[in-house]
Amino acid sequence: MTTRTSPAAAAGTWDLGDLTVNRMGFGAMRLTGSVAFGPGVPGDRDRSIGVLRRAVELGVDHIDTAAFYFSERLSANELINRALAPYPDDLVIATKVWPGRDPSGAWWWATPAQLRGQVEENLRQLGCDHLDVVNLRVPPSRATGSIAEHFGALAELRDAGLIRHLGVSNVTADQLAEARAIAPVVCVQNAFGLGAGPDDHELLRVCGEQGIAFVPFFAIAGAGREAGAAAADHEEVLAVARRHGATPAQVRLAWTLHQGPHVLAIPGTADPGHLAENVAAATLRLSGEEVTRLRSLR
C-alpha cells in the first residue's frame, strides 16, 4: 500500500470513478525500449522491473500501459505483471485498445467486435480478472468521425464485468460528448504540454467542469513526441528551471499539473534516475506568473 505522504502524492489526488490515485503517475511505454508508434528496440528487463518497483515505492499508484507496448523481447504488460503482482490494493492500471500490433510489430486497428479480444489480451498479460480503466484510443483517421460503435462495444464489456471504468484517448470535445452519452467517462488521455493550442486548453477546461480526469501524454516530450524531449528547451523553460533548481523536464511536468486539480501526469522512463526526477516534479510549485508566461510559449 502506498501512502498519501509519499513523493508521488505531493501534488494531491484525483478520483477515477471510485478509484483514488495520486496525480503523479507513470507511463509504461518506454519500459520495453520501444516507442508507441515507431519501431521497437530491446530494453533491459531487470532495469525495467526495478523501475516499476521503485515507482510504487515512491507512491505511484496509477500506471498507464497497453498491450501494444512491446519490443523485440519485452512487453510492458508482462513487465508490470512480473514486477508488481500480486498487485497492491490501491494500484490502478489503465490500458488502451483499438490499436494493435501483430508479432512482427505491424499495426492494425480493431473493429468493434475485435475489442473484446484486445481486452482479454490485456487481462491475460497483466494477470487480472478485470481491468481498472480502459481507454479507447482513437486513430488519426477518425479524428473528426464517430466513435460511438467502438465505445459502445467497450461499454458492453464494462457491463459484463471485464472493465471497471472507461476513458477515451486522442479525442475531440465532440467525441467526448458522444462517448458520455453512451457510458460514464472517467478520463481523457490526449497529447498536451507546453505549446498546446487553444482547442487543447478548451478540452482540458471542459474535462475539469465535468469532473473528468485529463491525462496528458507527451507532457515532457512536447513536439518530440515518441522520440522524446527535444534537445534544446526554450530559454523561458530553462530560466524557470534555474530559479527552482529543477530540470526542464520537471518544469514541464509541474506546469502541466498546475493546469488544474483534475490533471494527472504519466511521465514514462526506463531510467531510475529520471524516474526519481519525474516523481519529484510533484513537489515543484510554480508561481502564477511563471505558469502564465510558460503558457504563452509556442
What is the pTM for the complete model shown? 0.93
Question: Nearest 5°: phi and psi at 13?
Answer: -130, 170
Collect all residues with Cβ–Cβ distance below 8 Å to 231 and sequence separation of at least 6: none
pLDDT in tens, 21-78: 999 999 999 999 855 444 445 679 999 999 999 999 999 999 999 999 999 889 999 9
In the sheet that holds 187-189, the strands lie side by side as: 26-27, 62-64, 92-97, 131-137, 163-169, 187-189, 213-214
Looking up cell 518544469 gives 251
Q: How far apart are CA 80 and CA 65, in angstroms?
A: 9
Query: Nearest Cα to 282, choosing from 20, 23, 17?
Result: 23
Go through 219-255 and write b for each residue having 16 or more CB atoms within 10 A of its CB, e for each that does not.
bbbbeebeeebeeebbeebeebbeebebbbbbbbbbb
- Tens-place pLDDT, residues 125-181: 999 999 999 999 999 999 889 999 999 999 999 999 999 999 999 999 999 999 999
Phi, psi of 6 (to 5 degrees): -75, 165
Q: Please, which pLDDT band fits residue 225 given cuts at 50, 70 and 90?
A: very low
The total of other beta-carbon atoms located within 10 Å of residue 155's CB is 18
Helix, strand, coil percent values for the chain (each to nearest 5): 40, 15, 40
> For residue 97, which of 167, 179, 35 has the smallest C-alpha distance?
167
Q: For 200-224, how does the pLDDT look when each residue is reduced to its tens digit (9 = 90+)?
A: 999 999 999 999 999 999 899 655 4
Domains of the chain (ranges; CATH) run 19-295 (3.20.20.100)
Q: Is 3 left (phi over 0), alpha (psi -120 to 50) or beta?
A: beta
Whole-number mean pLDDT of the chain?
A: 92
CB 267 within 8 A of CB 27: yes
Residues designated as active site: 69
Between CA 111 and CA 113 the distance in angstroms is 5
